[in-house]
Amino acid sequence: MVDLGEEIAIGGIFLYQTADLGGFSRAVGLYAEILDASQNTVLTTAAVQDSRAGYLLDFSSTRPNYQRGRVTIGQDHLCAFMNDGSVQCWGRNAKGQLGDGTTADSLNPVVVQGITNALSVDTGAGRTHQCALLMDGSVKCWGGNYYGTIGDGTYDWYFGKLQPTAVVEKTSGDLITDAVAISVADYHSCVVRRQGNLSVWCWGWNGSGQHGDGSRSHNYAAVKMLGISNARSVAVGYAHTCVLLQDGFVKCLGYNAKGQLGDGSYVEDSTTASQVVGVTNATNIASGYWHACALLGDGNVTCWGNNANGQLGNGATGDRSAAVQVLGITSAMSIALGHHHSCALLRSGVIKCWGKNANGQLGDGTMDDRSSP
């Protein structure tokens, strides 16, 4: 258990510099959190040279305007909001995922070009692109453009977009200007838009029908998810997408071989959204690689999908195609999922994690997987 602040973020692998280690150090499957607005420090639970518990990173000299709870973690880079609406990123930059117009890695935060009014920024638990939701409702992405992950109507296997690029609609080519929520995964992204009574639009990889447009063809620009309205938020996994509706129900679509759609089946995939069984009063959702979880209004957490490492938190390791309750969590206020592990922030300020722990990502002082928090 770790006692800290208000939000948690989980990523894959990231790089940072410390005084004692020097240069880049790799950390796998971590969460990060600002501890104190005046301290400008972040705690990770990643394995750092065999460290299996929290590790402090001091950004006070380079990020004095860091916003509390506003950090997002990619495969090998991090980005953070600044108080002035800009975004700063650091780490690997081979595909331009730092957004500074170069492909040079950076040990220190660099300013993302052309972002001055960010409302939300998100990076998947995986790869090499980043997207920002701006205050005017537009969305801009940068970095790797596999399968059209940038959303501007193009794709490129070799070269990324080095600067933020606006996401457009596939059919009309019009810029998206009314987005209110965003979620980014390895190779696809989705937003909730005011248009169409809070509709969901997605772009990028669509091999399992996770965009909900009735096809399994990749979309290099945003397409509307059919049959979905009144969306509150969206959470994308590796090849599935879940939508939280205004009434507290959750619907999912896409790849389902591990039960990650939560509809009681293991049909390989679905291009139409199905309701998650056993979830009726969700207030927040999150998706991992092959699993998903919902935070309920009473502070409980339920999860479904792949459970090979105990990431569903129900004390077992078998996959579940319907939601199961996470043991011992009754007062959660925030949840975050990595590829194969999950974490919940409790109202007491304590963070509990469960699932895969091969790299110390649970922060409990061991390298042992846990099937309960």
- For the ranges 215-219, 248-252, 312-316, 364-368, which has the lowest average pLDDT? 364-368
Total residue count of the chain as it appears in this document: 373
Token look-up 């977009």 returns 161
Smallest CA-to-CA distance from 214 within 222, 206, 160 is with 206
DSSP conformational letter for 169: B
Answer yes or no: is pLDDT of 51 > 50: no
What is the torsion angle, in degrees rounded to the nearest 10, for the CA atoms of residue 183, residue 13, residue 94 and residue 24?
140
Question: Is residue 238 scored above 90 in pLDDT?
Answer: yes
Domain residues for the domain of 350 are 2-355
Is there a contact between 254 and 209 (Cβ–Cβ < 8 Å)? yes
Mean pLDDT for 129-145 is: 93
Residue 350 phi/psi, 5° resolution? -85, 140
177 domain residue, yes or no: yes
pLDDT at 21: 26
> What's the pLDDT score for residue 124?
54
Q: Is 252 within the bounds of a domain?
A: yes
Amino acid code (one letter) for 305: G
Answer yes or no: is 158 within a domain.
yes
- Tens digit of each residue's pLDDT (9 = 90 or more) over 281-301: 999 999 999 999 999 999 999
108: pLDDT strictly greater than 70: yes
Number of structural domains, the chain?
Answer: 1
Please state, in angstroms and rounded to a whole number, the distance separating the CA atoms of residues 179 and 291: 25
Q: Is residue 362 part of a domain?
A: no
Please give the pLDDT value at position 4. 32
CA angle 356, 292, 151 (to 5 degrees): 110
Find the CATH number of the domain harbouring 48: 2.130.10.30
Query: CB-side exposure of 164: number of CA atoms within 13 Å?
Result: 22
pLDDT band, very low/low/confident/very high, at 123 (cuts 50, 70, 90): low
Q: How many C-beta neighbours within 10 Å does residue 37 have? A: 11
- Strands 2-3, 25-28: pairing is unpaired
Token reading at 9: 């973020």
In this structure, is residue 28 part of a structural domain? yes
Q: For the beta carbon of residue 95, count every other beta carbon within 10 angstroms.
A: 24
Instruction: Tell me whether residue 366 is in a domain.
Output: no
Mean pLDDT (whole number) for 164-180 = 97
What local confidence, expressed as pLDDT, does residue 220 receive? Answer: 99
Average pLDDT over the chain reads 83
Stated pTM of the model: 0.86
Structural domain contains residue 304: yes
How confident is the model over 7-41, as pLDDT tens digits? Answer: 455 543 332 322 222 232 223 333 333 333 333 33
Q: Does a structural domain hold residue 201?
A: yes
Q: Which two tokens stand for residue 206?
A: 């669509």
* Strand extents, DSSP E, 174-228: 179-184, 188-193, 199-204, 219-224
Least confident of 52-61, 151-160, 304-313: 52-61
- Residue 207: pLDDT above 60? yes
Quick check: helix, strand or coil at residue 197?
Answer: helix
Q: What is the arithmetic mean of pLDDT over 102-123?
A: 88
Query: Closest by alpha carbon to 320, among 328, 330, 329, 311?
Result: 311
